[in-house]
Structure 1
Amino acid sequence: MRHLNALDPGASPLDYYGYELRRHRETAGLTQKQLGAIVNYTGSLVGQVETARKLPTAEFSERVDAALGTGGLLSRLLGLVLRSQLPAWFQQVAELEARATEISTFQTHMVHGLLQTEGYARAVLGTMDPEGLDDRTAVRLARQRILEKAEPPVLWAILGEGALRQEIGGAEVMRGQLGRLLSFESDPRVNVQVLPFSAGEHAGLQGSFTVYRFTGDPAILYTEGYGTGHPTANPDTVRDCSLRYDHLQAAALSIKDSAELIRQVMEECNGEQHDTVA
């Protein structure tokens, strides 16, 4: 166990967060227990965050910023802290997401992480690896904060119909996930299209991929394997997959028709639940 006074703010973003939390708390003349009482958390949890043994949350950061008058410092640090907790091979992708002005993703069998609910994310991340699941789920969901920025990226998400029908996390989790997809129906910056089974052979048969576009920088293509990520700015590869994406959009259902199919699948889930109860 690391000693409180031995915390090195340069060791990691999490250590730096803990150092700043302790510094501002002590400047305010509060004990961990007193600060915890003010922000409705235990003093023990405050201590764990200060010593980099527990990840802070957005709610915790906002409450402490308000209580200590930090001007939003901890909330600003939170994104960096959570990004540093991602697997090393994925940290670059999180940075691409944060900088992109447009994200175009095609997913064959699973909802993209930026659109996942907590229950869905837990089910995906917990498969064959339950260790640290709470923290890993929180880190994944924190990536979605880019959609709440003052100028969020435009997100185009094409999902294979199988992503709607693959029951991940159970029927209740899937209903919540489908509802989450429908919640973006009137949001012009988050566009969900479904590639139906009836499309047959299509331009994405080789697998899922994502194209990130930026202001003033070349677009980057990202593909993923088991425990590895493969970003590339090779113009020929990016051009090829951009063309594939255009063809996938042409083959996919319209945004309106996609929403209708999602509703239909939700109704089927509800029907199965009623049958089970009966």
Structure 2
Amino acid sequence: MDGKERGGVATQNPQRVELGETLRHARLAAELAPGQVEQELGWYPGKVSRVERGDRVPVRAEVARLAELYHLEAGETERLHLLADAARKRESPARVADFAQSYIAMERAAVEVDYYDAELVWGAMQTERYARAVLSKSRKQDVEASVPDRMSRRRLLTREDAPRVRVLLGEAVLHRLVGGEEALVEQLHDLLRVSELSSAQVRILPFSVGAHRAMGVGFVRLRLERPAISRVYIEGLTDATYIADPDEVAIYEQDFDDLWSIALDDGDSANILRRRIGTN
């Protein structure tokens, strides 16, 4: 099952997104409609949009024909071929639902991650026992196979080129007994440890904040450099929505920043974590 795509998201690697957007800009610059390109290349109706969304990668001969059709210079054509070659490579798939594969690929390539959820710790910050408890409620995933994969995501935080991460959690995270009291306390200890990393911040949005615009909506905002894009990912029970429209992404960015500013600051967030841990 594919997630809902609003603006287009590659399902294998981010280079598909960059290739698609590069081709779309080139087509628009050449003032050609999708139907004209499809007629010239003998493609079925709709293939241009699939290529430009990153769902399909043209073969080398088709890339050459597109470059010719779009009047690209030699350097631009060479870059297009390099992008297409990279886009054809498949990363090792993560053991997640099909609709989440695109998200994992972008998470790996992100330079910035903003995560907000009222009651669930971000997957890349979950401890093994916490993750096991979460994954055990999946309808389809093999828990024993999925836990190591979930744990591998934690390397994102400590690698040399770690992204800048801001994780905003509702106060309910401190009290929902995911995996039981001991597993939760272990997770909260780990959040304290992770919050001391130079690339990561963890803040708590207390109950006292009351109503806010993101109530009922957990989301992740990812920024990549190659391709230079920002995406918002919202996961449901059976599928996911990827938001790519810059104006819509900007709304989520602004609302995240607003929530970040009214949450407990880094020091007070660490203190509330310590107080919750200290109740045991």
Compute the TM-score of the two structures, normalised by the length of structure 2.
0.65
Amino acid at match of 1:97: E
1:230 to 233, 241, 244: 241
Partner in structure 2 of residue 154 of structure 1: 164
Moved over 6 A (4+): none
Partner in structure 2 of residue 243 of structure 1: 254
Tell me, in whole angstroms, the C-alpha distance in 2 between the residues paired with 1:101 and 1:203.
Answer: 26
Aligned alpha-carbon RMSD (Å)? 1.7
Partner in structure 2 of residue 218 of structure 1: 229
Partner in structure 2 of residue 145 of structure 1: 155
Listed as ranges, the matches of 1:187-206 within 5 Å are 187-206=197-216
Partner in structure 2 of residue 111 of structure 1: 121
1:207 aligns with 2:217: yes
Structure (1 or 2) with the greater helix fraction: 1
Quickly say closer, same or farther: Cα 1:186–1:124, change in 2 above 3 A.
Answer: same
Unaligned runs of 5+ in 1: 1-78, 271-278
Partner in structure 1 of residue 109 of structure 2: 99
Listed as ranges, the matches of 1:36-55 within 5 Å are none
1:180 aligns with 2:193: no
Tell me, in whole angstroms, the C-alpha distance in 2 between the residues paired with 1:172 and 1:84.
Answer: 28
2:173 to 163, 172, 193: 163
Compute the TM-score of the two structures, normalised by the length of structure 1.
0.65
Q: CA deviation at 1:148?
A: 2.5
Q: CA deviation at 1:214?
A: 1.7
Tell me, in whole angstroms, the C-alpha distance in 2 between the residues paired with 1:101 and 1:129.
Answer: 32
- Once the two structures are superposed, residues 137-163 of structure 1 have per-residue CA deviations (whole angstroms, 9 ceiling, x without a partner) of 111111222223211101100000001
1:265 aligns with 2:276: yes
Q: How many residues align?
A: 190
Partner in structure 1 of residue 137 of structure 2: 127
Percent identity over the alignment is 29
Tell me, in whole angstroms, the C-alpha distance in 1 between the residues paired with 2:114 and 2:174.
Answer: 18
Quickly say closer, same or farther: Cα 1:175–1:89, change in 2 above 3 A.
Answer: same
Tell me, in whole angstroms, the C-alpha distance in 2 between the residues paired with 1:219 and 1:96.
Answer: 10
Unaligned runs of 5+ in 2: 1-89
Tell me, in whole angstroms, the C-alpha distance in 2 between the residues paired with 1:96 and 1:131.
Answer: 21
Query: Could you tell me whether the CA contact under 8 Å between 1:202 and 1:251 is conserved in 2?
Result: no
